[in-house]
Structure 1
Amino acid sequence: MSKTLFQKIWDAHQVKQLPDGTYLVYIDRVFLHERTGSIALQSLAETGRKVRHPDQVFCTMDHIVDTFPGRGDETVMPSGKDFIQATRKEAKAAGITLFDIGDVRQGIAHVISPELGIVQPGLTLVCPDSHTCTQGALGAAAWGIGSSEAEHAMATQTLRINKPKLMRVWFEGELNSSVTAKDMILHLISKFGAHGGAGHAIEFAGPAVEALSIEARMTLCNMAVEFAAFTGLVAPDQKTIDYLQGRPYAPKGEQWDTAVEYWHNLRTDEDALFDTEIKIDVADIEPTITWGTSPQHACGISQTVPELNTLASEDARTAATRALAYQDLKSGDKLLGLKIDCAFIGSCTNSRIEDLRKAAAILAGKKVAIHVKAICVPGSQQVKAAAEREGLHQVFLDAGFEWRESGCSMCFYAGGEHFGKQQRVLSTSNRNFESRQGPETRTHLASPETVAASAIYGCITDPRAVPRSDR
């Protein structure tokens, strides 16, 4: 029987079907962070249960930790220190691997797991964070869970879940200049809605996906959850194998040869069936930016805020009306030229070395507009070190950006660090919800190139119109 990539991974991990129609699935690896990790580990210890396979559980300090140079356990978030110290204590007691503050491997979970080779094709990986789907870019089934589910996964190495439906999003054609994976996923969500992938495991495929780098595929899969998907994934190929080879947790020796042979078979069979299929020609995509308070509120950068009567339903019109009021915009407004107060490059969506290189190519030899607060937060300490070896950090600093330590800083207000009240922020993050980046902040999502170009001119700017050093 022909199978999709996700079906092959599912079948290899299904333990049994339960009487209520759910399934018990084997979990290969669990990732934690300090915002929920301490809670899950403490609760597990209090019930007298132990982590079943400590060598398969990893934890990082990323959500609450500050990103200011010289940081320590003290944080802007008043209770942050307690979370950090509790996580450190519980991780040690449980015998799991912790990437602590000061560790050269520390960083955002979905950045460091791939760069360390913890996630691999064909594995199941869970983390108490909705953007765990990022890691599906390497051909794994990775998804976000709650802290109680994390307890169950650590204690039993299994989880009970509903089997998702299957969707394939086929991107064909070639990307135009300055159009990125971030623009691809924003375009998809804008066309089919924030609930378009609900209940589905989505395989991103097609010539345009195959042409993407592994890091760009991570950006694509990262926002599958903003499409309401269970997860997103891309079939492994030679790029995947080349990316993983030699990484610390990747197989070695004969085990590597065996793994590569298995990974080569992790592809959707030609005549396998999906519940839903979507096809998009990427030649139709331009740099894309959000105008409202949902990733589905997006359009091409040359377009205007849509008229409400063009939206599909009354609910959509109501949500858009509220979004426009919050963003201080109205139908027909041009996005190009809209003044911004802040520019942010970071988050688990766009904080990898390729993202920083693209932004730096635009920033080189230029200055950020005097009224713009600009911040760059590398996704991991390894990304930060690589950027500094290449001199990218100096490009950001010379342009007027702050150069921070790695973490989830500025991506969500709960971490403590934030932008100012009602400031308009152009951001490479994944969510533009109300107050996501600060009290009443007005966030517009875009690619690193668009953010860098806009920071220079102090207003939303088409990156295609800005000279860059890599051309």
Structure 2
Amino acid sequence: MTSAMTLYDKIVDAHRVGDLDAKGRQVLLYVDRTVLNEYTSPQAFSALRQAGRAVWRSDAALGVVDHVNPTAPNRGADMPDAGGQRQTDYFAQNCRDFGIRLYDVLHPLQGIEHVVMPETGRVLPGMVLAAGDSHTTTYGALGALGFGIGTSDIEHYLATQTVIYRRLRSMRVRVEGALALGVTAKDLVMALIRDIGAAGAMGFAIEFAGPAIEAMSLEGRMTICNMAVECGARGALVAPDERVFAYLQPRAGLDADLWGLAVAHWRTLRSDPDAIFDREVVIHAEDIEPMVTWGTSPDQALPISGRVPDPAGETDPGARRDLERAIAYMGLAAGARMDAIPIDRAFIGSCTNARLEDLQAAAAVVRGRRVAPGVRALVVPGSSLVRQAAEAEGLHRIFLSAGFEWRQSGCSMCLAMNDDVLAPGERCASSTNRNFEGRQGAGGRTHLMSPAMVAAAAVQGRLTDCRNLTPEA
């Protein structure tokens, strides 16, 4: 019997306070850090107040306003609606009363929580982070185990620094070869979700490995770990390497001696060579094209060269009904070419694809071009620091000259919780992570894709292969 361990099990075991069942499948897990937002935290704080409990380690939590805030270029502290104002006011009160640092809407470090946490050095390899947002899996790009938790779990965490946790099975997704020019991390993870299904990783933690992952930027790794939850995974990991260390060195705030010790430990954070995974998936990177979704689930995706599927070819009655419903909601016709679908909106943003690398890729497509007539296009940087870095490179001038709106940071049009929403029937090319019915606004129609693909759609007025738009001088 082998004693070899996966990276996932190493991290869980290092944080296990105790077993809660005889087989050790349910454990009490120590959580190093969390991030709180105005949307998922109120009930947890109310429960703490009612029980007279304090926060066990207030320095291990960060509060960020990101979901309900406006992203208008000249925004102020006020929310666009009374409900959002109540949420942010109560959130600020909770952070003050419980001693938690808050990045409110006007703070110079404000941004989307899963962008802010890594860029401010709060996510380190080997950590466990739990937060009230499913895309906490993003942190796996740095070799940390992140996962979403519910309101009662947030309360338990704040009071005890632990959560009750059920161990996951392990899945390794090995990506062989290299991604072709114009094909991105977003395309890779969308291809994975299409191949294994929206529930294909249910009950698993995914470890991404292989040559294509090793060659991938840290920002690209954040994208694939972020969207791993869309195929059901409750954890995603990439073993930390030199890319991670280079990213963290100016951010982690460690002196030279501590830095050396930390890196020496981080180098041990990888699955043992003979570790056994419960499931293995192999993807060949060279087979992947730029991807777009056609339906109302992230697994309803196709290469941009494809056509909307025909439900008549589906033999399973339930699956056929799902296809018919999705096609009807999206206002499409079976057999329609994906690259001929017109759009009304283009949105570059979200915790999936609003980092500097994403904006650079989109700007390379946009430079020297104009947004197509009738299309409203928005760029919403993932954080105030990303916005600042993009402006230092002049990216904002490229977008503004092309007719894009250059906005402040926040979740924005990723979800219909602020004033950036689709009108019923509007069709949006979006760099976000979910295309559910009504996700971007009641009756809105969402097509997921990479930032470069969104940029291409914006200037062409329809879904377009970004590889056909060579950068302008």
The TM tier, using the shorter chain, reads: over 0.9
Residues of 1 paired with 2:253 and 2:47: CA distance?
A: 31
| Secondary structure of 1:89 counterpart | helix
The question of 1:45 aligning with 2:49 is answered yes
Instruction: Give the C-alpha shift of residue 321 in structure 1.
Output: 1.0
Instruction: Give the C-alpha shift of residue 39 in structure 1.
Output: 3.0
Instruction: Give the C-alpha shift of residue 111 in structure 1.
Output: 0.3
Residues of 1 paired with 2:317 and 2:288: CA distance?
A: 27
| Secondary structure of 1:223 counterpart | helix
Cα contact 1:64–1:77 (8 A) shared by 2 = no
The two structures have a TM-score, normalised by structure 2, of 0.97
1:34 aligned to 35, 38, 42, which one?
A: 38
| Secondary structure of 2:338 counterpart | coil
2:292 aligned to 278, 289, 292, which one?
A: 289
Residues 37-116 of structure 1: pairs in structure 2 closer than 5 A = 37-116=41-120
Residues 55-454 of structure 1: pairs in structure 2 closer than 5 A = 55-247=59-251, 249-311=252-314, 313-454=316-457
Q: How many aligned positions are there?
A: 469
Cα contact 2:294–2:308 (8 A) shared by 1 = yes
**1:71-93 CA deviation, whole Å, 9 max, x = no partner?**
23422343001111111111011
| Secondary structure of 2:471 counterpart | coil
| Secondary structure of 1:59 counterpart | strand
Which amino acid letter does the alignment assign opposite residue 458 of structure 2?
A: A
Instruction: Give the C-alpha shift of residue 38 in structure 1.
Output: 3.2
Residues of 2 paired with 1:316 and 1:280: CA distance?
A: 25
Residues of 2 paired with 1:318 and 1:375: CA distance?
A: 34
Which amino acid letter does the alignment assign opposite residue 4 of structure 1?
A: T
Residues of 2 paired with 1:98 and 1:166: CA distance?
A: 35
2:14 aligned to 12, 15, 31, which one?
A: 12
Residues of 2 paired with 1:74 and 1:297: CA distance?
A: 38
Residues of 2 paired with 1:417 and 1:328: CA distance?
A: 22
| Secondary structure of 2:372 counterpart | coil
Instruction: Give the C-alpha shift of residue 350 in structure 1.
Output: 0.4
Instruction: Give the C-alpha shift of residue 310 in structure 1.
Output: 5.0
Cα contact 1:311–1:317 (8 A) shared by 2 = yes
Residues of 2 paired with 1:312 and 1:71: CA distance?
A: 52
The question of 1:467 aligning with 2:470 is answered yes
**1:103-143 CA deviation, whole Å, 9 max, x = no partner?**
11110000010101101100000110011101111000000
Which amino acid letter does the alignment assign opposite residue 42 of structure 1?
A: S
Instruction: Give the C-alpha shift of residue 15 in structure 1.
Output: 1.0
Instruction: Give the C-alpha shift of residue 250 in structure 1.
Output: 4.2
**1:259-306 CA deviation, whole Å, 9 max, x = no partner?**
111100001111100000000001000000000000010010001112
| Secondary structure of 1:413 counterpart | coil
Residues of 2 paired with 1:469 and 1:193: CA distance?
A: 38
Q: 1:67 to 1:464 in 2, by over 3 A?
A: same
Residues of 2 paired with 1:382 and 1:257: CA distance?
A: 27
Q: CA RMSD in A?
A: 1.3
Which amino acid letter does the alignment assign opposite residue 417 of structure 1?
A: D
Residues of 1 paired with 2:313 and 2:384: CA distance?
A: 45
Instruction: Give the C-alpha shift of residue 55 in structure 1.
Output: 0.8
Residues of 1 paired with 2:81 and 2:411: CA distance?
A: 13
Cα contact 2:221–2:238 (8 A) shared by 1 = yes
**1:443-467 CA deviation, whole Å, 9 max, x = no partner?**
0000001110110010111101002
Cα contact 1:423–1:442 (8 A) shared by 2 = yes
Cα contact 1:73–1:81 (8 A) shared by 2 = no
Residues of 2 paired with 1:139 and 1:267: CA distance?
A: 9
Q: 1:175 to 1:19 in 2, by over 3 A?
A: closer
Residues of 2 paired with 1:348 and 1:252: CA distance?
A: 30
Residues of 1 paired with 2:313 and 2:27: CA distance?
A: 41
